[in-house]
A = this chain, B = another copy of it.
Amino acid sequence: LITLLTDFGTADYFVPAVKGAILSVHPQATLIDITHEIPAHDIRSAAFTLNACFRDFPERTVHLAVVDPGVGSSRRPLVITSGGQILVGPDNGVFSFVFRQAAEFHVFHATEAQFMKPSGSETFHGRDLFAPLSALLDQGLDPAEVGPEVLDYNVFDIPDPQYDSATGMIIGEIIHIDRFGNCITNLTTKELDGFKIPAGTCLLIGTQRVTHFGGHFAQAAGGELLAYPGSAGYWEIGLWCRSAAALLDLRRGARVVLETGPAGRVDR
């Protein structure tokens, strides 16, 4: 089982060329698309999306992630093992969320040329380098055999919520916006436990104050903004049947402030 995540889109020949190259090495491979609609070259969006679902797959699934503005340059190809899963892709930060959330992981620099295909084109590493490598890993190749373990892999900075001791507020930010316009924050259950939310708690976002906290949208069918623990492990802000991001005119990176009323204090 091999999953694919790229920014190639589905209109061109790029994705099928990668799949054809995998199947040429390993005709029995099962291929599942994560998505090919990552905005072009948006490594942060790719990193979020990969991390949000790769653990849902069976053990020893190979996850190939190719979002690489540096294609053809000297980005090292990496193979990562974590929690029984295998991840493959360039050393450009696309695994940053995985590295941050995983309890344990190992990172290997794929240097063994015998596992890759001599490239006809310098512009298409997805097909010529990563596809055969993923096919062989799915066939049982030991990740430790692809090259040396490395510790100096690239990660991008994922902001931590900041506690402001003067006001008792926690300052977070929007790290992703999904297709429904739901805004995913970097606040987790560590900052706000869904089962004991102090009276008066609210989230300040843009010019709005979110005071509804709940598990599902039917609780916000009246049209109010709702904060809820999302399926990716973060608190999200959404609107029933509409786009919260559009209503609030929000982009990734927007600030979110968690504050508690006089009746309580958010437990840290």
Contact = CB atoms under 8 A, between A and B. Distances in A.
Interface of A: 1, 3, 8-17, 19-21, 23-24, 27, 30-38, 40-41, 49-50, 52-58, 61, 69-74, 120-124, 127, 178-180, 215-218, 228-232, 240-241
A241 B123 contact: no
Nearest to A45: B11
Contacts of A35: 10-13, 15-16
A15 B41 CA distance: 22
A131 to B, nearest CB: 9
A58 B13 contact: no
A188 to B, nearest CB: 13
Given A33-B16, A49-B13, A127 B56 contact: yes
20 contacts: A9-B179, A10-B10, A10-B33, A17-B56, A20-B32, A20-B54, A21-B56, A23-B30, A23-B58, A24-B57, A24-B58, A31-B32, A40-B241, A69-B240, A70-B218, A71-B217, A72-B216, A123-B215, A123-B229, A127-B231
A72 B215 contact: yes
B120 A231 contact: yes
A57 B180 CA distance: 30
- Identical chains bound together, number: 3
B121 A229 contact: yes
Contacts of A215: 72, 122-123
Interface centre among A16, A33, A41 (most CB of B within 10 A): A16
A154 to B, nearest CB: 15
B13 A53 contact: yes
Given A123-B215, A179-B9, A57 B1 contact: no
B57 A216 contact: no
Contact of A123 (B53, B120, B230): B230
Contacts of A120: 231
A179 B12 contact: yes
A27 B58 contact: yes
A216 B20 CA distance: 23
A89 to B, nearest CB: 16
